[in-house]
Amino acid sequence: MNTEQRREIFARFQAANPHPTTELEYTTPFELLIAVILSAQATDVSVNKAMRNLFPVANTPAQIHALGVDGLIPYIQRIGLYRTKAKNVIETCRLLLARHGGDVPRSREELEALPGVGRKTANVVLNTAFGHTAIAVDTHIFRVSNRTGIAPGKNVEEVERKLMKLVPEEFRMDAHHWLILHGRYTCIARTPKCWNCMIADLCEYRPKTPMPAKGV
C-alpha cells in the first residue's frame, strides 16, 4: 500500500466521521483514565454501565480511594478481572494524590508508572484527554492494520511505530479512533463486512471465494 492509498483511506474515514472520539463515557481526564483501566479485556458497553453507577457517587481520586477495594468492587464486579482492576484503581488513586496533587499526569512515563496503565492506556489518555498525537493499538487496530495493509506488523509495538510513520500527518491525531471504530463495526474479526466497507477497493484483504457446489 502506498502513501496516496493511505491518504485516501483516512480521507474517507474523516469524511464519514469528522470528529471521532472514544465510546467510553467520561467528563474529566481522571474519569477517562479509570474507564480505560477498567476496559482492558472488557467491552466499552460494560464499562459505561459500571461508570454510570460509580461516577455519580465517586469521580475523583480522593472519593474513589475512600471507597477502598471492597467498596469499589460492587460497582465493577460485572467487568472482567474486576478484583485485580479494583486493586489497581485504588492504588492509582493513592499515587495520583501522593505524587500529582490529584491530577492525571500528562507524560507517558508518569502515566505508565500507575498500576494497570500500560502503553495502550497511556496513549488513549494522552490522545483523547490531552490532545497528543498518539495511537493506542488494541486488538481492533492491530487486526485492521494488518488485514488492510495500512501498517502490517508482528506485534502491537511494531504496528504502532508503523502507524505513527505511515499515517499521513493530517490524519494522525484521529487515526486511533477511526481504526478502532472500523474494526469494531465493519472489519470485524471472524467475518469482515467487506460488502459494507468504505475502503474495500483500497484494502489488501481478499477473502477466499467459496467454490460453487457441483452441478451449479
In tens, the pLDDT along 90-111 reads 999 999 999 999 999 999 999 9
Question: Does a structural domain hold residue 186?
Answer: yes
Examine the domain organization and report whether 115 and 72 are in the same domain.
yes
Examine the domain organization and report whether 12 and 101 are in the same domain.
no
pLDDT at residue 212 is higher than 70: no
**Among this protein's residues, is 208 annotated catalytic?**
no
| SS percent in the chain: helix, strand, coil, step 5 | 60, 0, 40
Summarize the confidence of residues 119-138 as an average pLDDT.
96
CB 150 within 8 A of CB 6: yes
Burial (CB < 10 A; 0-12, 13-18, 19+), residue 146, is middle
**Could you identify the residue written with the cell 474494526?**
183
pLDDT of amino acid 207: 64
Examine the domain organization and report whether 125 and 33 are in the same domain.
yes
Examine the domain organization and report whether 139 and 123 are in the same domain.
no
Examine the domain organization and report whether 145 and 188 are in the same domain.
yes
Query: H helices of 125-171, where?
Result: 139-148, 156-166
Examine the domain organization and report whether 42 and 111 are in the same domain.
yes
Examine the domain organization and report whether 82 and 156 are in the same domain.
no
Q: What is the CATH number of the domain that holds 169?
A: 1.10.1670.10
Examine the domain organization and report whether 141 and 107 are in the same domain.
no
pLDDT at residue 51 is higher than 70: yes
Cα angle, residue 181 at apex, residues 177 and 186 outer, rounded to 5°: 150
Examine the domain organization and report whether 94 and 181 are in the same domain.
no
Question: Does a structural domain hold residue 75?
Answer: yes
pTM more than 0.95:
no
CB 86 within 8 A of CB 108: no
pLDDT at residue 62 is higher than 60: yes
Examine the domain organization and report whether 124 and 39 are in the same domain.
yes
Q: What is the CATH number of the domain that holds 87?
A: 1.10.340.30
pLDDT one-digit tens code per residue, 11-38: 999 999 999 999 999 999 999 999 999 9
Phi/psi of residue 77, each to 5°?
A: -70, -10
100-119 per-residue burial string, b: 16 or more CB within 10 A, e: under 16: eeeebbeebebbeebbbbeb
pLDDT at residue 161 is higher than 90: yes
Band of residue 41 on the pLDDT scale cut at 50, 70, 90: confident
Distance of CA 10 to the CA centre of its chain: 18
Examine the domain organization and report whether 101 and 179 are in the same domain.
no
**Dihedral, 29, 160, 3, 8 alpha carbons, nearest 10:** -40
**Among this protein's residues, is 138 annotated catalytic?**
yes
Instruction: List the catalytic residue out of 49, 120, 174, 201.
Output: 120
Count of domains forming the chain: 2
Band of residue 215 on the pLDDT scale cut at 50, 70, 90: very low
DSSP E strand boundaries for the chain: none
Instruction: List the catalytic residue out of 138, 154, 208, 214.
Output: 138
Question: Does a structural domain hold residue 204?
Answer: no
Residue 63 domain boundaries? 29-129
- Spatial neighbors of 113 by CB under 8 A, at least 6 apart, are 95
Summarize the confidence of residues 145-158 as an average pLDDT.
96
DSSP run (H or E) holding 102: none
Question: Does a structural domain hold residue 209?
Answer: no
Examine the domain organization and report whether 79 and 105 are in the same domain.
yes
Question: Does a structural domain hold residue 202?
Answer: no
